[in-house]
Amino acid sequence: PASAHGLPHGGLAVGGVSLAEIADRFETPVYVLDEGEVRARCRSYRDAFPDADVLYAAKAFLSRAMVRWVDEEGLGLDVCSAGELELAVTAGFPPDRIALHGNVKSPRDIEAALRLGVGRIVIDSPSEIARLAAAVGTGGPQKVMVRVVPGIMAGGHEKIRTGADGQKFGLALSDGSAQHAIARILGRPELELTGLHCHIGSQITEVRPYLAAARRMVGLMARVRDAHGVVLPELDMGGGHGIAYRPGDPSLDVAALARRLRTELIESCAAAGLAVPRLAIEPGRAVAGPAGVALYRVLAVKRTGGRVFVAVDGGMSDNPRPALYGVRYAPRLVGRRSPTAPCVATVVGRHCEAGDILAADVELPGDVHPGDLLALPVAGAYQVSMASGYNMVGRPPVVAVDNGRARLLMRRETLADFHSRDIGG
């Protein structure tokens, strides 16, 4: 799905703009985002889930332009900090279509959420209940949900699995901590519990774990009704929809998820004697990931120690994902006139550690040389948003392409930006 399309002579284009042209104009490394692709992905979610609220998970990638696109395509927004929230609202996003998440919300997060009037706050721990209720005071009630751990194992990597007991997010069904928090919230007049939330993990490529989680969530809704006489009207099933990082990798079939989740909810609600709740979902990666391409310049090629190293001008400060989760990408060289015999190369970054590998043992043209442009497709999610200041290299700019035109969304972080924070004390 990576939206890097071939041009004659082996060039690559995104959104009708050649990547070579983008590198000339904006320099490298640079992140390129295909606006049309982002919008199309938002629309296909709306089409697949016409009766649900689709909230884009801002942590995947957020900028003022992204906020506008998501708003114009009719999605809501999931944020997890005052920073994401304030950016979204100052860019014009309606706060009532925003949900605030996070396993721990700082006083600053809660203050911003209440001041700006977010639609839902998703409670993740008992400590949050009294704190939030006190902050709301007589200004409420604030609509809240509870994040439940349904006890489902799913997700692409240990660090992004959140559906089973023993990780930091949410409150477990299995030991009654979710039920206990629900009872306490129902006793607080400052809070209005609208429903339950779960997010079982990320980079999930099968529908089945979502169905199992939905069954358990409906079971809990029935228990809430039995214990408290309250029918909760909303169910948020989180995000986590997996995408293919390389051609041929598996991805989640979103249309199948929509269809089967709907059937599952109808059946388990009927069995429990409940009305089907209003569904919400929160895809992040599946909206932004395939719409982005990272573009680097090859600065060095060396054959040593039995390997071919292709070193580029970015690395783990703009993409920590291979180092963190062992993700495998399929980088390509841009602008090759004729295919030469391939070599197996390891694409590395410029950072001062051996783990700074962007793509280990991938096939590249055998004559790869300094000056070549290297494109890393499927780079739209969790790269720019996770970029760091490591080694004071500076975070890359983000360029949007659409209908043959490129424009800068976020400028490159300069050395002056870095140095200005250090006030010498």
Contacts for 270 with CB less than 8 Å, ≥ 6 apart: none
* Min separation Cβ 321 and ligand LLP, Å: 5
Give residue for tokens 């009037």.
117
* Min separation Cβ 370 and ligand LLP, Å: 30
What one-letter code names the amino acid at 222?
Answer: A
Is residue 241 a contact residue for ligand LLP (CB under 6 A)? yes
Which helix (H) or strand (E) segment is 30 a member of? strand 30-34
CA angle 209–210–216, rounded 5-degree value: 90
Token reading at 180: 């206990």
Instruction: Give the chain's length.
Output: 425
Residues that bind ligand LLP (rule: CB under 6 A) add up to a total of 21
Q: Which of 206, 198, 271, 268 is nearest to 239 (CA)?
A: 198
Which position among 2, 32, 33, 57 is part of the footprint of ligand LLP (CB under 6 A)? 57
Is residue 240 a contact residue for ligand LLP (CB under 6 A)? yes
Q: What Rg do the C-alpha atoms of the chain give, in angstroms?
A: 23
Contacting ligand LLP within 271-290 (CB under 6 A): 282-286
Q: Taking CB under 6 A as the rule, which mask of x and - marks residues 291-330 in contact with ligand LLP?
A: ------------------------------x---x-----
Q: Taking CB under 6 A as the rule, which mask of x and - marks residues 366-385 in contact with ligand LLP?
A: ----------------x---
> Is 92 marked as binding a ligand?
no
Q: What is the DSSP string of 184-204?
A: HHHT-TTEEEEEEE---BSSB
Q: Could you report how far apart the first and last alpha carbons of the chain are, in Å?
A: 49
- Active site annotation includes 198: no
Is residue 163 a contact residue for ligand LLP (CB under 6 A)? no
Find the part of the chain contacting ligand LLP (CB under 6 A) among 52-60, 83-91, 178-186, 303-311: 52-60
Is residue 97 a contact residue for ligand LLP (CB under 6 A)? no
Token reading at 311: 């070193």
Distance CA 86, CA 93 (A): 10
Which residue positions form the known binding site for substrate?
A: 285, 321, 325, 353, 382
Residues that bind ligand LLP (CB under 6 A): 57, 59-60, 78, 101, 160, 199, 202-203, 238-241, 282-286, 321, 325, 382
